[in-house]
A and B are shown apart, each in its own frame.
Chain A
């Protein structure tokens, strides 16, 4: 087993180089987990500083997931929000919440986690002058407008809706009713912060200190981070390995090659080009599980051509002209599943996922597509251009495939063309400047596993990610109603009614649900991906 030996050597070398732990586990020791062994995992350079409220992509999120625990934690399998640091979160009106923090939690530097650790962290996150990119998460809290005005300068640094009652209790007042608010509190932006974050910020960012199952042993920006199991961690979800070494890879193909050669234990982004071989290469050491990501085509409703009566028929027609099944099979090798609603299977039926909610409108039927588009007055300008960014992912392939599918269905070679934009930033700039003239790529990765998160930020009037600027009074009303509903089952039902409005107007064409994929070495067992497609590091066993 040359591969396995290599892996061991690599891990030993990494551990020795970082003076982390002695390389535990002799060669004879196989089977069963070795609590002291360190695993290595592929990583990408986080785009933003590693502050909880400033991290909005998965690479930085990975680290936060290991070094922070919030009031709630999402169950890695079901996605359900479960109490973590919260002893109880009480409300009578869905607007005023009283939060009690569990006793006995500390940060890894020994400081106690109190209600103040949360309140100061949240105030910092919401305050405009701190440039936190996740500040909008706090917009539901009373006083957000004063600390984070849309224009002009802030009048206060603190959210008036947050009050510390005592060491373990604080109250939150929201500006509107929001019954599922407690379930959002598992998002890393809501993590508590130690005093060191405020008093010695520069050093904190160099080597963040949190309250999660791991502590950061060493961090070389742009190349490597060594995380060590924190022995004093008070939670139940203690790390079952000695630590994790995150290695930045310049290319996910290289990481995959390294995994095959036995120099790396875990790759959580199997490159599209390797999907065909992955079964052969790794066998059952390959994971392909649903993640809370849905890909859609959004439309520019600020463009009159797409906002006429009857244009909904054109959009539905386009939706029916796309052969989702064939595209997900041939291009994505079944790592994506044709979408039949606007949420994600990870929510589960109770959480609001409803298979087939889209109905006929998402079923491939060229004849019906042709008819619908004709009824709706034909394609605006005789052609649709699907805009996408060509720098990452395999966007070009699937956009071309979608266009082919549409062209075939409509018997028109020029019905659909792709319109690539060079970089993601430029793509976003053009969307922000409302320069889209036809459908454009829209991907949504959930922040927290709630149906609300799949609907409100995307389709509510002027919502933060409503890139197409779709606006519908019925939808808005239903969402407001659902947010005020204290009974979760009922709230979910109303959200699904709102989703029905999205379907009837075809505000966005759902394409497919994205899976998370990962491959791992023979040393590892109990590898899982959570609904955010991040490996559940603390549960991985290393032999």
Chain B
């Protein structure tokens, strides 16, 4: 197990370097970021040159990348164009997005898996068909439509919630945005669980458990669910990364000042430091989440052993 983890951690290094390099190059080919700083006019050449020097943009790209990576390893992610250190932006944005992700994941696990188990156990019944139809609708409607609709209905028409999230972004405020963010994944989780449960329900060990006279609850939770959860855990694990980085739409609709907003603004303003910094952290989150998922397999299914 220990050796496996070390091997996986070592594998992360090339993935990490490759990903950051790609992002760095992509942001760089978008043109000169200084040109966008002066509004609808040309920056005066002397100031532009001075700014380029200050942000290190006058050096060749490979050199910029090396300097940047060197700084990253000492914990310095550079400075955004508004004079704020990127680490400061991260310190405000990541907690918000992490809260949002937690809310979304909780929804996925609680509602998604429950619905999946219910429908899986009652395959073909009206409940099953109903939920299947519902998930189909949720999957086919884009997130921004669900988001705007809920915002308008709950926020403006009925006045149940505030349409926008304040800068504190407490858990309470994030429930509706979290639900919107989770909606599509939630539908997938339901379908995955349903299929998996329905399949395993006919397997020998379940029949044995039932034959042993175990209570139904125990059969479902200990025997059936545990074995059926492997694909679901994989999905949810990779979804953590996707939710954190892919919340741009939801964050804009509900005025959440999280990672998605910072990335969006960074891209619009062509702020290399912000974009690369945030993406680097997101890459790390993806890698760690993936590793954790793989380790969870062993817990769920004792037959899986890592060496």
Contacts and interface: CB of A to CB of B under 8 A. Distances in A.
B40 interface: yes
B163 A261 contact: yes
Interface in B110-128: none
B30 A425 contact: yes
Interface stretch (B129-137, B204-212, B264-272, B297-305): B264-272
B254 A133 contact: no
A464 B163 contact: no
B155 A426 contact: no
Contacts of B42: 428, 431-432, 464-465, 467
A417 to B, nearest CB: 21
A511 to B, nearest CB: 14
Contact of B31 (A2, A426, A465): A426
B82 interface: yes
Given A132-B47, A133-B43, A263 B163 contact: yes
B48 to A, nearest CB: 8
A2 B51 CA distance: 50
A254 B255 contact: yes
Given A48-B37, A221-B82, A223-B92, A250 B44 contact: no
Contacts of B32: 425, 428-429, 432
B83 interface: yes
B41 A261 contact: no
- Among A250, A258, A422, A432, find the residue whose CB has the most chain B CB atoms closer than 10 A: A250
A45 interface: yes
Contacts of A261: 155-156, 159, 162-163
A131 B256 CA distance: 32
A377 to B, nearest CB: 30
Contacts of A250: 251-252, 255-257, 261, 264
Contacts of A442: 40
A45 B37 CA distance: 14
A370 interface: no
Interface stretch (A143-151, A306-314, A342-350): A143-151
Interface string B255-298: 11100010011011110000000000000000000000000000
B54 A131 contact: yes
Interface in A137-166: 148-151
B19 interface: no
Interface residues of B, number: 53
Interface string A428-444: 11111000000000111
Contacts of B92: 222-223
A222 B36 contact: no
A151 B46 contact: yes
A465 B162 contact: no
A302 interface: no
Nearest to A154: B46
B106 interface: no
Contacts of A263: 162-164
Interface string A247-268: 1111101110110110110000
B41 A425 contact: no
Given A251-B255, A263-B163, A131 B35 contact: no
A184 B132 CA distance: 67
B261 to A, nearest CB: 5
A128 interface: yes
Nearest to B96: A223
B38 A131 contact: no
B51 A131 contact: yes
Interface in B21-59: 30-47, 49-51, 54
Nearest to A281: B156
A431 B41 CA distance: 9
- Among A46, A264, A428, A442, find the residue whose CB has the most chain B CB atoms closer than 10 A: A428
Contacts of B31: 423, 425-426, 428-430
A493 interface: no
A149 B252 contact: no
B257 A464 contact: no
A33 B255 CA distance: 30
B84 interface: yes
Given A250-B255, A425-B270, A149 B46 contact: yes
A135 interface: yes
A131 B47 contact: yes
Given A250-B251, A251-B252, A391-B268, A423 B159 contact: no
A221 B167 CA distance: 11
Nearest to B168: A17
A457 interface: yes
B44 A426 contact: no
Given A222-B257, A426-B31, A150 B164 contact: no
Interface string B59-86: 0000000000000000000000111100
A249 B255 contact: yes
A136 B44 contact: yes
B152 interface: yes
Given A150-B45, A425-B35, A465 B40 contact: yes
Contact of A249 (B30, B35, B84, B164): B164
A223 B258 CA distance: 10
B38 A257 contact: no
- Among A248, A258, A264, A427, find the residue whose CB has the most chain B CB atoms closer than 10 A: A258
Contact of A423 (B254, B261, B267): B267
A257 B30 contact: no
Given A57-B39, A392-B268, A248 B81 contact: no
Given A248-B257, A254-B255, A423-B31, A46 B43 contact: no
A445 B152 CA distance: 34
B163 A254 contact: yes
Contacts of A247: 167
A457 B39 CA distance: 14
A490 interface: no
B151 interface: yes
Contacts of B45: 150-151
B269 A47 contact: yes
A205 interface: yes
Interface in B226-265: 251-257, 261, 264-265
B83 A205 contact: yes
Interface in A382-433: 391-392, 422-432
B139 interface: no
Contacts of B167: 220, 223-224, 247-248
Contacts of A57: 39
Nearest to A205: B83
B50 A131 contact: yes
Given A250-B256, A261-B155, A150 B46 contact: yes
A279 interface: no
A6 interface: yes
A2 B159 contact: yes
Contact of B50 (A129, A224, A258, A423): A129
Interface string A212-253: 000000001111100000000000000000000001111101
Interface of B: 30-47, 49-51, 54, 81-84, 88-89, 92, 151-152, 155-156, 159, 162-164, 167-168, 251-257, 261, 264-265, 267-270
16 contacts: A17-B168, A47-B269, A135-B46, A136-B44, A150-B46, A222-B89, A257-B155, A258-B162, A261-B162, A264-B164, A423-B31, A425-B32, A428-B36, A429-B36, A457-B41, A467-B42
Shortest beta-carbon contacts, A-B, top 4: A425-B36, A426-B31, A429-B31, A223-B167
Given A423-B30, A425-B35, 10 more contacts: A49-B82, A131-B47, A135-B47, A136-B44, A148-B44, A148-B46, A222-B257, A424-B36, A425-B269, A428-B32
